[in-house]
Chains A and B, each alone.
Chain A
Amino acid sequence: MKDSIYFIGNAHLDPTWLWRWQEGCGEVLQTFRSAVDRLKEYNDFVFTCSSACYYKWVEEIDPALFSDIRELVKEGRWVPVNGWWLQPDCNMPCAESFARQALYSQLYYKEKFGKICTVGYNVDSFGHGAMIPKFLNNAGMRCYVMMRPSAEENPDMPKGLFWWDSPDGSRVLTYRIPGSYAESGKNAIDGALESLKEEFGTANHGMMLFYGVGNHGGGPTKGDIEHLTAVKNEGYGTMKFSSPEEFFEEQCNLPLDLPGWDTELQHHASGCYSATSLIKQLNRKTENALIGAEKWSSVSSALTGEKAATEEFAKAWQKLCYNQFHDILCGCSIMEAYEDAKLQLGFAQAIAQDEENKALQIIAGRVDTWLDGVSDSVSCSERHHCRNLAYPRPVIVFNSLSRKVITAVRTYHPSSRVTDSEGRDVLFSNVRSSRSNDSHEDTVFLAEIPALGYALYWLWHKDSDAVSNAPESPVKADSYSLENEIIRVEFDSATGGISSLVTKADGKEHLARASLVPTVIDNSKPDTWAHGIFSFHDVIGTASLSEIKVVESGGVRGVIRVKHTYKNSYISQDFILEAGSPMLRSKVRILWQEPLTMVKMPVSIPGKNPVATYEIPGGFIKRKANGDEDPALTWGDVTADGNGVSVITDSKYSYDCDGCTLSLTVLRNSIFADHFSHRPEADFAYCDEGLQRFEYGVYPHSGDAEKSEVSRLADLLNNKPVAVPAGYHKGDLPRKKSFINIGKDNIRLDCFKQCEDGSGEYILRLSETAGVKTKTSVVCNLIEAGFWADFEPMETKTFRIDDEGYITETSYLE
């Protein structure tokens, strides 16, 4: 009730942090045993514990203990919370990852305990994206417990209970823990009680006290329980051993008039968005690999009638969910933990690759690629598929996105001509391959591939007599400039930066000064998390230009290579401009060897009143252009006076926008798990030391970022089409086909999969991306489904399609 304090016995369990996962697993087993013992000893005691992953470990390793827990759950004394796999970082996983955190967990809870969790619970996560209420509501949770940022870190946020809304209309009743999630020992508990009484003395609701040894597990001690038992009769209102579920339920019976909050909950550990590039890249690549592979597996299943690899994908997703744990994905665990992450996410990516390849080969095998006469070939070289000089090679290009794409696609042989499925010549270039063997050349050609579909292209070998009738290339590159039909880029000969970026249609210059010169920031003061530090602008140098040269010009693209050095490190960027693309892409190779530094790529635009916009999990957000380090997913943007530049990445998560300058943070080379910068003399290991490769794009536009093409371009940069060389065969599928047609460009297909229940029914998950209310048609003739749906801004809807194509709108839980 209003003046009640609810004692929440818990054990904060970090399964990986300053230890590896195997130790974390042991920690879970010991903590769970201890909690069961305490529950048997103290009749009033109630234990709360999150994370389906932990329960699954216990179930598999200690079935007897798990059986005890099931009984205690039934009695209401052991309370599972947070219908997620564990307590992930809440800024960097993509929306589909949050869906899977919930899907696998809530189904597990339902199966094992007969009910799902109704309370979300991420007490240690380092800040919470603005769409978390959506993720919770879609998973059956309407209440939330969080702690970071603290009142000192963000004094504007409401204390205690408040309504937290996301732009799609989702809402969670949220409790912000005022002190710690792990009070233990008489003094700590008494102190926490006193501050609760002071802090909430005038509040119109009750409050929760979280107690129990935590971080490395442990849970409530006998001393804690006995002390609270003694205290609860002393007379501050009502005190009781309880759970978050009971707390929220009872608060809802009060006439609450609570404050509201309608944006993100930030910041706590601003260095975590960039520390340890390896795990960031692994996370993004694994997410994209699984989402794409699952779509193709589903398409293949629908075509063949075979079941999709749902169980395999579940295993892979669970590995990914685990490695989104906040101390892992935030890059602040020990170095050895990332060796484990590489293995686990490699396992997940391998599943994705296997299943995708299987599916694409099945689909490709059904496409009609037959050419009359091809079987009459007589010579060995003609029959050799890669080097058939008489007939073009069929290559089927697959696009997993729900929007049509036009982009350059690479295959690993040179060509003299490329035509599309209807025989029209298309632009292509023979470009330097990664190998030194054979011809040293690959073909890059401009492909147009329909939404979640494929297109067949014909490639004549370079040694054949075929002559291309492709249109004149719109791409030109010379020493210091690159241009296509849409944009013109100029490079600064002194710095190697980009000095001009003009959109040709309106003649607008989008840069205020030379941009994208690698800039080095002092990172010696912050710890790995950057506790207490929210912006990084202490510039200690810029990288020096060592070489700039034209690598490719004409055909399908132009490429200029720019090399920089800084002390013992180098940065090489291939700036690539494709025909028809509004985005300049950079393929980056960095060998970094400078301890305690950060590297940023700044872009400065002209104008006043800049607005910073970023993609975040499940939507986008507008933030102040105040120079704070901010988390984002695939793109960040600065727009002023109606014109802007977006920076799109395939593996980075950290930006700052200081006035009209948007900087992508490409690495942050801190000491591994350097907590509060306590640094004894030692030969430390650094989390962003060594070689890394990644890509980013720069996209100039007019109007609001979210309504521009940035979302489409970001999807494309992160999900490149896959080219599958095919054989010559007859087939029942046409040479170009889309498996889905979504009427509105701002509705994105997040997922196409089969249901977890083995029914063979399909799940389509769709999200609005531009922040506008939208009605759209969706047609997926593959599974006989076609329907209309309305979306709120940034809303996600999940649809279940039965075997007759009838549609049910459901949730993440299917």
Chain B
Amino acid sequence: MKKIILEPHFVRKSTHFAFDDPAVPASLGESALEVPDLSDFPLPLPSKKSDYTCFAKAGNVLWLGASTGLTRYDPDAKYEFDAVQYFSADRDLKDNNVKALLPCDTGVWVKTDRAVTLIELPVMSAEEISDVLLRETLKYVSRHSMISHKYLARAGEHDSILPYGSCDNDGGFTSGFCLGEIYRYAVMKREKGKDSPEAKDALAVARRALDACMLLMYIHGRGNGFVARTYSTADEPVPDDGLFFRRQGNKAICLETSDSRDRGIVGLEIDCSAPVPDRLKYLYEEDGYTLDDIYYKCDTSSDEITLHMLNLLFAHKILGEDDKDLDDFIKVTASGIVNHIIDSGYTLRDYSGEPTTWARWDEPYFTKEIGWVDAALNSAEMLFYLKAIMEITGEEGRWKEIYDYLATERGYADLPAKHFDRLYQQSMRDDMDPAEEIMYGDHWLATASLFGLCYLEKDNEELLEKYRKGYKTWRSSIAREHDAALDFLYIIACPGEEIDEGRVREWFMRANISRLAAGVSLKGRHDIPVRTLRQGYREISTLLPQDEKFISKYDRNPVEYKNEDSGGLMAIESCYVYTLSYWMGRYFDFLG
């Protein structure tokens, strides 16, 4: 693929004002532009033509205000995706009833029912966007150095961020974030030198995130390679979602939640005497916490393990190259995880010695109804862990034997290619559309494991072809997202395959400058067809640019028909969707 040069592009910045704020120009609403003739407008308009009530012109750019949002039309736009843009509540406006417009040097003043909004369009490079998003994330999202998301007390207001709020996938999301920073470090080191401030900054951020991930592999004190989902401190509320153990000396006690009550394990005590490595303690001690202040979440899923392993693989390759101590620690930690899985019969063994609910890579699971569908992904994950650990440690031993045994004798290498067949059959069984069966969170897991296998399998052409075949069965589903990072890894793994360069460009150039999960409105949109699937799920017929769709890390249907114009999601999410894609693109020379 030819390198894509991302030109600097404007981003959206909204500032809201009260009607009587002195900053609001007095002339807003006074001068009315003659209503342009829209009857032969050449492109789809986001609002119904009769909804447009006010207009403003800035050079050739036409601003069109409607009762259902704001439209910007640039007839000279270089790219099709820039010609018509839609601005809506809550992300861009306070509400969608636009009543008056006034262009200014930096953008446009917009009067709506509830406020006056100044929409500015500062031009930024992709790298600048990446930096802004990173700083926002570090400032608002980081929780004990884990990077997932945080909730707000008041919609859209950063200042109202709640200091707590663990997430089921803190580990996985932090790994994704970390991987982006590892690539940033590699790029900065390559371009500006290891000792440059840029490289040092990237290294510091990456190291902290990596440590946060690795702490989850020790925080439970079990000493057996188990990985906690996340952890919190005693001053944070215990969510009623899953299983939590509070550390008290050498024992960890099961806290009361609905799940623990259902399982009858409230108050269960288990051992937690294995030490936390000294090098990781700073993550809680710097905030004044001790191990006794910590409660961790278990019942960990395969998702976490897969993303951790991908992160550890590149941490070893990039960070380990410059830091032997770190590399040795990565080797020990990763080995612990993989050995735990092997010794547990290809499962993750929890407090009871039984497998967790969703970390099953064993054949008995694959023959169960749900496991039969999961087998295509989980088999690839297991093989990836084995291949990755061999790469990380530089050793083969029993890992190689098990890899060969599972891949060939037990047919694990053949299973990934059955993904779409089994998913489709399940959809028929459930009378659903295949799109209704898709688990979007699985896309990154399939990508991590199948990219990883294709990337690492250098000796056995036959196996490599099987992995590529398996990867391709996911493509139609993954390509629904047009996530740049997913696209990049796919074409690295499957030479000869193509991705849509225009979509990649749009993905970066129409980015959000904020990860504040203020909603967007699709309800009033006149230019977006909606389709209803067999079980009533609604999708739109086109993937919207990032700055017109809802914010998501990776686990939501990107073409979901959703209206979030009434308060939106009260959260701020990790930047890594953008930063990982961007720095990965730079690292692998897809982007310039």
Chain A residues with a Cβ under 8 A of chain B: 142, 163, 169, 171, 173, 248, 252-253, 255-258, 260, 741, 743, 773, 775, 777-779, 781, 784, 786-790, 792, 797, 799, 804-810
Q: Report the Cα distance A804→B527, complex, angstroms.
A: 12
Contacts of A248 in B (CB 8 A): 428
A788 to B46, CA, bound (A): 10
With A163-B421, A163-B424, A775-B542 as contacts: A804 and B48 at CB distance below 8 Å: yes
Nearest-Cβ distance from residue A489 to partner chain B, whole angstroms:
36
Interface of A is mostly: strand
Closest to B373 in A: A255
Task: Give complex CA distance A645, B450 in Å.
Answer: 41
User: 10 pairs across A/B with beta carbons < 8 Å?
Assistant: A252-B428, A258-B421, A260-B421, A779-B41, A788-B541, A807-B526, A807-B528, A807-B541, A808-B530, A810-B531
Most-contacted residue by chain B among A788, A804, A806 (CB, 10 A): A788
Which of A173, A260, A790, A805 interacts with B541 by CB under 8 Å?
A790
Give Cα A743–Cα B500 distance, bound, in whole angstroms: 17
The smallest C-beta distance from A813 to any residue of chain B, in angstroms, reads: 13
Residue of B526, B542, B543 touching A786 (CB-CB under 8 A): B526
| Complex interface: chain B residues within 8 A of A804 (CB) | 48
- Please give me the 7 A-B residue pairs with the lowest Cβ-Cβ distance, nearest first: A786-B44, A809-B531, A807-B529, A788-B542, A809-B529, A789-B541, A252-B429
Instruction: Tell yes or no: B476 within 8 A of A by CB.
Output: yes
Q: In the complex, A786 Cα to B86 Cα: how many Å?
A: 14
With a cutoff of 8 Å between Cβ atoms, the chain B residues found around residue A258 in the complex are: 421
Selected from A142, A781, A806, A807, the residue in CB contact (under 8 A) with B428 is A142
Tell whether B158 is near chain A: CB-to-CB under 8 Å: no
Q: Decide: A778 and B44 in contact? CB cutoff 8 A.
A: yes
B528 touches A788 (CB 8 A): yes
- Which residues of B have CB within 8 Å of A807? 526, 528-530, 541
Q: How far is the CA of A792 from the CA of B48 in the complex (A)?
A: 27
* B45 CB–A CB distance under 8 Å: yes
How far does the alpha carbon of A779 sit from the alpha carbon of B44 in the complex, in Å?
A: 6
Contact B529 A787 (CB under 8 A): yes
B425 located at the interface, meaning its Cβ lies under 8 Å from any Cβ of chain A in the complex: yes
Q: Are B529 and A789 in contact (CB under 8 A)?
A: yes
Cβ-based interface call for B583 (8 A): no
Considering only CB atoms, which chain B residue lies closest to A799 in the complex?
Answer: B529
Task: Assess whether B39 is interfacial by the CB under 8 Å rule.
Answer: yes
- Per the 8 Å Cβ criterion, residues 20-49 of B in contact with A are 39-45, 48-49
CB-based contact B424/A789 at 8 Å: no
**In this assembly, does B372 line the interface, its C-beta being within 8 Å of a C-beta of chain A?**
yes
Contacts A252-B429, A790-B542 given; indicate if A169 touches B44 (C-beta within 8 A).
no
Interface residues of B in 295-338 (CB under 8 A from A): none
Query: What residue of chain A has the Cβ atom nearest to residue B428's Cβ?
Result: A252
Q: Which residues of B contact A775 (CB under 8 A)?
A: 503, 542-543
Cα distance, A214 to B429, chains bound together (Å): 32
Minimal Cβ-Cβ distance residue in B for A258:
B421
Q: A786-B44, A790-B541, A807-B529 are in contact. List 7 more A-B contacts (CB 8 A).
A: A255-B372, A778-B44, A779-B41, A788-B542, A799-B541, A805-B526, A808-B529
Contact between B531 and A786 (Cβ–Cβ < 8 Å)?
no
A-side contacts of B526, CB under 8 Å? 786-787, 805-807
Pick the contact of A777 from B44, B372, B424, B479 — CB < 8 Å? B44
Cβ contact within 8 Å between A784 and B49: yes
CB-CB under 8 A from B542, the residues of chain A are 775, 787-790
Q: Are A809 and B541 in contact (CB under 8 A)?
A: yes
**B150 interface residue per 8 A CB criterion:** no
The one of B44, B48, B421, B476 in contact with A257, judged by C-beta atoms closer than 8 angstroms, is: B421
Q: Bound complex: CA of A787 vs CA of B527, how far in Å?
A: 4
Question: How many angstroms from the CA of A806 to the CA of B425 in the assembled complex?
Answer: 33
Assembly CA distance A692 to B111 (angstroms)? 70
Q: Is there an interface contact between B541 and A253, defined as CB atoms closer than 8 Å?
A: no
Cβ A790 vs Cβ B543 within 8 A: yes
Instruction: Give the distance to chain A from B147, nearest Cβ to Cβ, in Å.
Output: 31
B401 within 8 Å of A (CB atoms): no
Residues of A contacting B429 with CB < 8 Å?
A: 252-253
Give Cα A460 to B527, complex, Å.
45
Judge if B80 is at the interface, Cβ distance under 8 Å: yes
Pairwise interchain contact A779-B42, C-beta atoms closer than 8 A: yes
- Chain B residues whose CB sits within 8 angstroms of the CB of A743 once the complex forms: 43, 80
- Cβ-neighbour of B42 out of A173, A257, A260, A741 (below 8 A): A741
Q: How many A-B residue pairs have CB under 8 A?
A: 90
Chain A, residue nearest B43 (CB): A777
Q: What residues on B are CB-neighbors of A788 within 8 Å?
A: 44, 527-528, 541-542
Q: Give the complex CA separation of A174 and B50 in angstroms.
A: 49
Rounded to whole angstroms, the CA-CA distance of A789 and B367 in the bound complex is 40
B418 in contact (CB, < 8 A): yes
Closest chain B CB from A491 CB (angstroms): 42
**Among residues 520 to 558 in chain B, which have CB atoms less than 8 Å away from a CB atom of chain A?**
526-532, 541-543
Contact with A along B58-81 (1 / 0, CB 8 A): 000000000000000000000010
B503: nearest chain-A partner, CB-CB: A775
**Complex CA distance for A789 and B424, rounded to whole angstroms:** 24
Interface centre among A163, A169, A809 (most CB of B within 10 A): A809
Distance between Cα atoms of A786 and B43 in the complex (Å): 7
For B42, the chain A residues whose CB sits under 8 A away are 741, 779
Given contacts A169-B476, A779-B43, whether A809 and B527 have CB atoms under 8 Å apart is: no
CB contact list, B568-582 vs A, under 8 A: none
Q: How far is the CA of A799 from the CA of B528 in the complex (A)?
A: 11
With both beta carbons as reference points, the residue of chain B lying nearest to A806 in the complex is identified as B526
B window 397-429: CB within 8 A of A: 418, 421-422, 424-425, 428-429
Measured CA separation A777–B41 after assembly (Å):
12
Inter-chain CA distance A203–B228, complex, in Å, is: 44
Within the complex, which residue of A142, A173, A253, A805 is in contact with B48, where a contact is CB–CB below 8 Å? Answer: A805
- B39: chain A residues within 8 A (beta carbon): 781
Smallest beta-carbon distance B5→chain A, Å = 21
- CA–CA, A743 and B49, complex, Å: 19
Contact residues in A for B530 (Cβ distance below 8 Å): 807-809
A314 to B80, CA, bound (A): 39
Q: Which residue of B lies closest to A797 (CB)?
A: B541
Measured CB to CB, the closest approach of chain B to A805, in angstroms, equals 6
* CB neighbours of B543 from chain A (8 A): 775, 790
Measured between C-beta atoms, what is the minimum distance from B511 to chain A in Å? 18
For residue A741, which residues in chain B have a CB less than 8 angstroms away from its CB? 42
List the B residue with the shortest CB-CB distance to A143: B428
A257 lies within 8 A of B428 (CB) = no
- With a cutoff of 8 Å between Cβ atoms, the chain A residues found around residue B48 in the complex are 784, 804-806
Interface centre among B39, B44, B476, B530 (most CB of A within 10 A): B44
Residues of B within 8 A of A799 (CB): 529, 541
Which residue on A lies nearest to B424, using beta carbons? A171
Which residue of B is nearest A744, CB measured?
A: B80
Return the chain B residue nearest A259 by Cβ: B421
In the assembled complex, the Cα of A343 lies from the Cα of B45 at a distance in Å of: 47
Q: How far is the CA of A163 from the CA of B476 in the complex (A)?
A: 16
Contacts of B41 in A (CB 8 A): 779, 781, 786
Task: Output the least CB separation between B279 and chain A (Å).
Answer: 47
* Interchain CA distance A169-B424 in the complex, whole Å: 11
Q: Nearest-CB distance from B268 to chain A (Å)?
A: 36
Q: Among A163, A781, A786, which residue has its beta carbon within 8 angstroms of that of B527?
A: A786
- Nearest chain A CB to B84 CB, angstrom units: 9
- Shortest CB–CB separation between residue B34 and chain A, in angstroms? 20
How far is it, in angstroms, between the C-alpha of A790 and the C-alpha of B530 when the chains are bound? Answer: 12
Inter-chain contacts of A809 with B (CB < 8 A): 529-531, 541
Asked if B541 contacts A787 (CB within 8 A), the reply is yes
CB A256 to nearest CB in B, in angstroms, measures 6
Q: How far is the CA of A67 from the CA of B477 in the complex (A)?
A: 46
What are the residues of chain B within 8 A of A260 when measuring CB–CB?
A: 421
How long is the Cα–Cα vector from A792 to B479 in the complex, in angstroms?
10
A786 — which chain B residues lie within 8 A by C-beta? Answer: 41, 43-45, 526-527
The smallest C-beta distance from B344 to any residue of chain A, in angstroms, reads 25
Most buried by A among B40, B367, B421, B422: B421
Chain B nearest Cβ from A455, distance in angstroms: 15
Contacts of A787 in B (CB 8 A): 44, 526-529, 541-542
